[in-house]
Structure formats: C-alpha cells, structure tokens
Amino acid sequence: MQAQKQEIRGFKKNRADYEKFLTFDPITEEMELNMGPQHPSTHGVIRLVLKTDGEVVERVIPDVGYLHRSIEKIAERNTYMGFMPYTDRVDYLSAMHANAGWAMAVEELAGIEVPERAEYIRVIVQELNRIISHIIAVGTYAMDIGAFTPFVYMLRERERINDLIESVCGARLTYNYVWIGGVSHDVPVGFQEKVIEFLDHFDKVLKEFDRLISFNEIFVRRLANVGVITPEKAKHFGLVGPNLRGSGINWDLRKHKPYSIYDKLEFDVIVGQGWKGQLGDSFDRFYCRVLEMGQSSSLIRQAVKMMPEGEIRAKVARKLKPPIGEVSSHIESSRGDMHYHVISDGSSSPYRVKIRTGSFNAMTPLEEIVPGMLIADVVAFFASLDVVAPEIDR
C-alpha cells in the first residue's frame, strides 16, 4: 500500500502520466451482426455478415447460396421446350425476359425464324414486365428507407399490369408465355386499347410518385452521396443494367446490340447524372429505374401502334433437336444483361447450359464500398442495387 501511494505521488509530479493513470481504457472488440438470411432489407433469402464497431460497418461478407436449385443441371436433363417453365424462376420478377432469353438462344441454335407479330408481342409483354419489376424495386426501396405509403401506391399499378398480362397468358408472376418460335397465345381482342388506356393513367402516376417520394427531402438525403460507384468501378465490378447506367455508362443492349424489333423503336438510354449528389450514388441508381419506366411506356405505345397481323409462332418440332453447336444469347432484362450460353450435342436436351444474370455481379461492390458506412446506409446502398435472390444462385 505504501509503495502504491509513492507511485501515485510520483505520477502527480508528471501531470500527463497521472491523467493517463486515472483514465479508464475500455476494451473494444468487433461485433458481428447478421443481416438475413431472412431480413426485410435483403430482398430475398440472402445473408450479409456485418462486422461493426458500434453503428459503423468495418466489413461486410455476402453469404449467398440459400436458393441454389441446380437450375443449369435441370436444363441439361430437360428438353429444350420442357425447360421453358423453369426459366420463369431464373428471375421471378422479370420472368418474360427470362423466357425470351432462353427462346432466343434455342432459336439461334436451331435456325428458327420468329414471326414479326410475335416479336412485337414479345416486346410489349417484356416492357410491361420491366415496369412491374421496377415498380417493385422503387416501391420496396422507399419502404426500406421508412416510407410505406409509396409501396402501396405502386403495388396498385403493378396489379393493373398483372391484369393485362393475365388476360394474355392466364398467369400473374411466372408466365411461361414466350415459347420457342414465338408466343403461346395471341393477345385477346381489345388488348391494345386496354394497354394504351393503362399507360395514359400510368404516366400521370409516375409524376405523382416523383412528388410523393423521388424528390422528398428526407428520402433524397438518405440516398444522395451514399454508396458511390464510379464509372471505372462499375465496369470493374461487371455491373449491368440500371446499376451500370446509374454510374453514367451509356450501355443498353436494346440500343447498342439490338435484338428482336428494338432497332425499329425509338427510346432514350437513361444514365445517371448525379441528380442530387455524386454521379453513381444510390439516388442515381434509384432514379434511373423511375425514368426507365417512362421509356418502357413509350416503347409499348410504339409497339402497339406498329404491331402487324399474322402468325404468332413458327412451326417447331415437338422434340426439337438443334444441330451440334453453341450459341450465346443476351437480353436486356430488368436487372441488365441476362446471358444464356447453350451447347448442343445434337440430341433433344442441351449438353451444357450456363446462365449469367445481373444480380450475381451486383453483389461484388459490397465488400469494397460498404466499409465505413453506418448500418442504416448499408440498407440504402444494398437496396439501390435491386438484387433478386434467385438470380444469384445457380
């Protein structure tokens, strides 16, 4: 005890040492949090492991694979036409694009020419499906940030589009409508008029949505300058679709490598402008999707006006056996480039199928961009990427 008193008296002679002696030095350690695999902000069965220091995220580890279904192997065990219903599950929010991507690959492989009317119908339903997908993207985004009402507003519009698609193929989510050689059914009588009537209404809804949420001050502050991905980084990460265009890269397969009848239609490629913050931030990715819905509306109007009469499907053998060879089919899905690589060995089943989608690569920026963010900003950043879990897992 006497020795300790002498030590303290010695510290008092040196003020800095004395204050250091009296200061409590807490032991700090990294905290591990699980966001998911089932979490309101993960948009599917995805797990993000967050290493945090309080509210600040020091590291994020994406853990995917919870929805792995061996869909590529299923394709190899099925006939070419038999695999079509499975493609709906590649991206259940953009199933028309998944159907069309597979059909285009097999048609190129087998040398099948699609009737012109079927091509126009395909474009109409794909652009309707793009609007559906973007409605879910921007609506759930607002809900993730804390605004519930916009999601309900947009869900109402989604149901109206579902009514239109249901009148065509009888389904509202997984369609199996685009078939190899064309489409399964022609559009019903009066369909074109109903589509235009809806679009006249929907164009006004988009302006209402901007007033309600897009330029809401709180919403903008939560998104602007958060999760900035520069154009160079966007290319480095292999981003596609609105995530790539949100970083200012002008690239859209419908415009730059046109397929189907897109080369006959006029539309603008929406790219990020740094509207409310830095180029490539979360707001740019969000608002690109809002503006793309307006472009889809314009594309549908043109296709409806130009659609000719005629056949809706080419004659295709029940047991299709394409010649030996391989093809790569690319289609601009709601989440960007959806790629089917198909190898034929001459039998009625593909020898090898590889599917590449936008959501898998959209997971790659997380580990580099997230460190240093607050947990709340991780939600805003991750939601801006519009990841759909089935697209990640093969």
Render 174-212 in DSSP notation, one character per residue. ----EETTEESSPPPTTHHHHHHHHHHHHHHHHHHHIII
Residue 32: half-sphere exposure toward Cβ, Cα within 13 Å: 3
Which listed CATH number (1.10.645.10, 3.90.79.10, 3.30.420.40, 2.30.300.10) goes with 69-392?
Answer: 1.10.645.10
φ, ψ for residue 330 (rounded to 5)? -120, 135
Gap between the Cα atoms of 361 and 69, Å rounded: 19
What is the pLDDT, as a whole number, of residue 1? 47
What is the pLDDT, as a whole number, of residue 24? 47
Which residue, 326, 329, 295, 299, is CA-closest to 114?
329
What is the pLDDT, as a whole number, of residue 29? 73
Between the CA of residue 220 and those of 145, 203, 275, 372, what are the distances in Å? 10, 22, 10, 20
Between the CA of residue 389 and those of 68, 160, 240, 251, what are the distances in Å? 9, 25, 16, 24
pTM over 0.85: yes
What is the pLDDT, as a whole number, of residue 321? 95
10-residue block means of pLDDT along the chain (394 residues)?
48 54 58 83 84 91 88 95 94 94 97 97 97 95 89 93 96 94 95 97 95 93 96 96 97 96 96 95 97 97 96 92 96 96 96 94 94 93 92 83
Gap between the Cα atoms of 99 and 92, Å rounded: 11
Q: Does residue 202 come out as left (phi exceeding 0), alpha (psi in the -120 to 50 range) or beta?
A: alpha
Domain ranges of the chain: 69-392
Give residue for tokens 């903008």: 220
